[in-house]
Chain A
Amino acid sequence: MVVLKNIVKKNFYRDSVQLLHLSEEAKKIEGVLNAAIVMGTKLNKEILEREGLLTDEGREATDNDMIIAIKVKDESLLPNIVERIERMLTAPGVAEERFFYSIDSAIEYLKEVNLALVSVPGQYAKEVVKPLLEKGIHVHLFSDHVPLEDEIELKKLAAGKGLLLMGPEAGTSIINGVAIAFANVVNRGPVGIVAAAGTGLQEVSVLISRAGSGISQGIGVGGRDVKSAVGGIMTLMGIKALEADPETKVITIVSKPPSPDVQDKIVKYIAENTKKKYVTCFIGGRVFEVPKGAKGRLIQTRTLHAAALEAVKLIDQKLYEEARKKIFLSPKEVLSIADRIISNLEKGQKYIRGLFTGGTLTYETLVIFKELIGDIYSNTPLNPKFKLEDPWKSYKHSVVDLGEEEFTAGRAHPMIDPTIRVQRIIEEAKDPEVAIIMLDFVLGYGSHPDPVGAHLSAIRKAMEIAESNGRSLTFLAHVCGTEKDPQNAIEQESKLKSAGVIVLPTNALMALTSAIVAKGGISEEELSRFYETYLVGSEGG
């Protein structure tokens, strides 16, 4: 007889990624039908409930307790299975590995440490990062919830010492070709990137690499860097460093629209203190007046797609022409995909649902929808009036960022843990008004070893649900990755295509295709105007 068991371990902590790996291992034990090992946060208990894995014992667990939830084939197997899981929890790491319990001893052991990757809870970031900066060590600070005043103090300290403090809330950096936190394996080359947007850096670096050029350095600075309070300290440090770096020929700046005063400061700095060529991508931002000192060497763009293309164009016109033909689809090709989808829709199938793991990819999608059909619903909308009342439930056209706090408190990010998105795909498929589900798959170091594989059975099941109700459900996907990533983008794309998913080469093109379907079509003039405004750059005023 099938048995469901919850074991609560009081005051027992492991980080969310370790628990995810342990859950995967537990699922492989013979006799286990399903398993999840999580901290007892409210969100985790809700997810267990949805998966049918929560019992009264589990319900009593607190944030500091660990829940081992297992469903087994037969009660007689339970004692052995529990014992194996308990052993996994307490097993030491690989024997020859040496871990440190003090930062100083790790630094002493490694000698000449030049970078620290810090992911401690935000309230402790300052006490960890300050001594590192004092020692002259550059820092990539992944943590969120770092108090704003701590960020300002630490960034001023770093700048005074000529150091990089990448973050807080920096998901991605690429330093000397090495992927720091969540980043892709891209070609090395002449384009330097400073980004206040994690998946923005990933998408631009990937597209530049796939177009045949490459990245010198990718400096993530964290989203708040371009807000008035911080004043762009690290964005400017990044620009100054890349301007002085002999390997960098073109510098690309990527962020959501900065505070107006910071945007002015960045543009003024470029005009007065630099000589190289620049591409700015303040996603969805307005075209600004280019100051005299930057005229003729600064291109403005509104999407990640355009930023990558323009950077390649500034490096090599021929490469750009080839990339436009081979990688970035023409208006005619996009229209043909959209028309095909529209012709397969049943009456009443009219809504687009975007289930994203990348915050900047979500934002870029919202910007494109706003241009073509107006504001749409989201947990991170452009217009607060369009905030989803319940982020777990889509409404009309909805685009959801599953990497937001409400989906990640005490859990691994959806780029690593597909559980929530897999559940949500099935929910969306049950809605007869849904026409398209959009999915992003972000590859690279940091991410799930096979994100597409982890979603395939849900995608197939969703298609079956729709078909059994006389509808056909279209999946659009964009894979943000390269062939050199551990997951291999070409293999990931090919798995999607085999399952009947339409794969678009850029996130912007996925959003555009969906928005055309949402509009029920588009005139050639309007499409061509969109391409000229959003998918290429401009020299501005």
Chain B
Amino acid sequence: MEIKNANIDPVLKLFRSKLKVVNIGLEHFYRELKRQNIDVAHVVWQPRPKLEKDLEEILSKIM
């Protein structure tokens, strides 16, 4: 797509809004956002075990 035709309204909305952040991964970044008094939720992320992924794929095919 041509960027000149992109809808930029969601970005302008972000610039006008109070930040609400989900932090996924390094806890350090969550702490640094907290220190700035930002609304932030931290997700303790770990890769899903392969078995779980395989099961999900099978289920999505049969359902």
User: Does chain B have a CB within 8 A of A526?
Assistant: no
Instruction: Say yes or no: B43 contacts A106, CB within 8 Å.
Output: yes
Known: A128-B45, A237-B3. A15 touches B11 (CB 8 A): no
Interface assignment of B52: CB less than 8 Å from any CB of chain A? no
A231-273: which residues lie under 8 A (CB-CB) from chain B?
233, 236-237, 240-241, 244-245, 247, 269, 272-273
B24:A103 contact, CB within 8 angstroms: yes
Whole-angstrom distance between the Cβ of B19 and the nearest chain A Cβ:
5
CB of A45 within 8 Å of the partner chain:
no
B20 touches A241 (CB 8 A): no
- The size of the chain A interface, using a CB distance under 8 A, is 62
**Cβ of B45: which chain A residues have Cβ within 8 Å of it?**
103, 120, 128
Least CB distance from A217 to B in Å reads 6
The answer to whether the Cβ of A178 comes within 8 Å of any Cβ in the partner chain is yes
Give residues of chain A (416-453) contacting chain B, Cβ–Cβ below 8 Å.
416, 445-446
**Known contacts A156-B1, A179-B32; A99/B10 CB under 8 A:** no
- Nearest residue (CB) in A for B38 is A178
A111-142: contact bitstring with B at CB < 8 Å (1 yes, 0 no)? 11111111111001000100010001110001
- Whether the Cβ atoms of B4 and A119 lie closer than 8 Å is no
Binary CB contact string for chain A from 464 to 496 against chain B (1 if under 8 A, 0 otherwise): 000000000000000000000010000000000
**How many Å from the CB of B60 to the closest CB on chain A?**
14
Residue-wise interface mask of B (12-53) relative to A, using a CB-CB cutoff of 8 A (1 in contact, 0 not): 111101111111111111001101101111111101000000
**Once the chains are docked, how many angstroms separate the CA of A128 from the CA of B47?**
10
Q: B8 near A: Cβ within 8 Å?
A: yes
Binary B-proximity of A165-180 (CB < 8 A = 1, otherwise 0): 0000000000110111
Instruction: Tell me, yes or no, whether B6 is within 8 Å of chain A by CB.
Output: yes
Assess whether B9 is in contact with A115, with CB atoms less than 8 Å apart: no
Report if A398 contacts B (CB, 8 A).
no
Q: Could you say which residues of chain A place their CB within 8 Å of the CB of B28? A: 15, 17-18, 416, 446
Say how far B4's CB is from chain A's closest CB, in angstroms: 5
Q: Are B12 and A116 in contact (CB under 8 A)?
A: no
Q: Which chain A residues lie closer than 8 Å to B41 at the CB level?
A: 98, 100, 106-107, 109-110, 113
Q: Are A117 and B43 CB-contacts (below 8 A) given A138-B10, A138-B14? A: no
The reply to whether B3 and A159 form a contact with Cβ atoms under 8 Å apart is yes
User: A281 interface residue, CB < 8 Å from B?
Assistant: no
Which of A106, A118, A241, A486 lies in contact with B35, CB distance below 8 A?
A486
Q: Are B10 and A161 touching (Cβ within 8 A)?
A: yes
Query: Which single residue of chain B is at the shortest CB-CB distance from A185?
Result: B36
Q: Which residues of B contact A178 (CB under 8 A)?
A: 19, 33, 36, 38
Give CA–CA (A15, B45) in the complex, Å. 11
Q: With a CB–CB cut-off of 8 A, which chain B residues contact A101?
A: 43-44
- Name A14's closest neighbour in chain B (CB-CB): B27
Does chain B have a CB within 8 A of A366? no
Q: Which residues of A contact B44 (CB under 8 A)?
A: 99-101
Residues of B within 8 A of A17 (CB): 26-28
A291 within 8 A of B: no
Residues of B within 8 A of A119 (CB): 23-26, 29
Task: Report Cα–Cα, A353/B35, bound state, in Å.
Answer: 35
For B41, the closest partner residue in chain A by CB is A106
Q: A163 an interface residue at 8 Å Cβ cutoff? A: yes
Contact status A116-B21, CB under 8 Å: yes
Residue in A109, A121, A162, A175 whose beta carbon sits within 8 Å of that of B6 in the complex: A162
Check B33–A117 contact: CB distance below 8 A: yes
Contact of A79 with B by CB under 8 A = no
- A176-B15, A240-B8 known; A106-B42 Cβ under 8 A: yes
Cβ-defined contact, B7 with A162, below 8 A: yes
Min Cβ gap A315→B in Å is 19
Closest Cβ of chain A to B21, distance in Å, is: 5
- Asked if residues B14 and A106 are in contact (CB atoms below 8 Å), the reply is no
Given A99-B42, A156-B1, A164-B11, CB of A118 within 8 Å of CB of B24: yes
Partner of B24, one of A117, A237, A446: A117
Q: How far is the CA of A175 from the CA of B21 in the complex (A)?
A: 11
Say if the beta carbon of A394 comes within 8 Å of chain B. Answer: no
Contact of B43 among A100, A137, A164 (CB under 8 A): A100
Q: Does A90 contact B (CB under 8 A)?
A: no
Nearest-CB residue, chain A, relative to B4:
A273
A181–B4 touching, CB < 8 Å? no
The yes or no answer to A102 lying at the interface (CB within 8 A) is yes
Shortest CB-to-CB span from A111 to chain B, Å, is: 7
Residues of A within 8 A of B17 (CB): 114, 176
Q: If A102-B43, A103-B43, A124-B47 touch, does A163 touch B11 (CB 8 Å cutoff)?
A: yes
Known interface pairs A118-B24, A120-B25, A269-B3; A110-B39 also in contact (CB < 8 Å): yes
| Residue with the greatest number of chain A CB neighbours at <10 A, chosen from B7, B17, B29 | B29
Q: Assuming A178-B33, A240-B6, is B19 touching A143 (CB within 8 A)?
A: no
In the A-B complex, the 4 residue pairs with the smallest Cβ-Cβ separation, listed nearest first, are A119-B25, A162-B7, A17-B28, A236-B3
New contact pairs (8) apart from A110-B40, A162-B10, CB-CB < 8 Å: A111-B20, A114-B14, A116-B24, A120-B24, A162-B6, A236-B3, A237-B8, A240-B8
**A–B complex contacts, Cβ < 8 Å, 30 sampled:** A15-B27, A15-B28, A17-B27, A100-B44, A101-B44, A103-B22, A103-B45, A106-B22, A110-B22, A110-B39, A111-B20, A114-B19, A117-B33, A119-B24, A119-B26, A119-B29, A121-B47, A124-B47, A128-B45, A136-B10, A142-B26, A175-B19, A176-B15, A176-B19, A178-B38, A179-B32, A240-B3, A244-B12, A446-B29, A486-B35
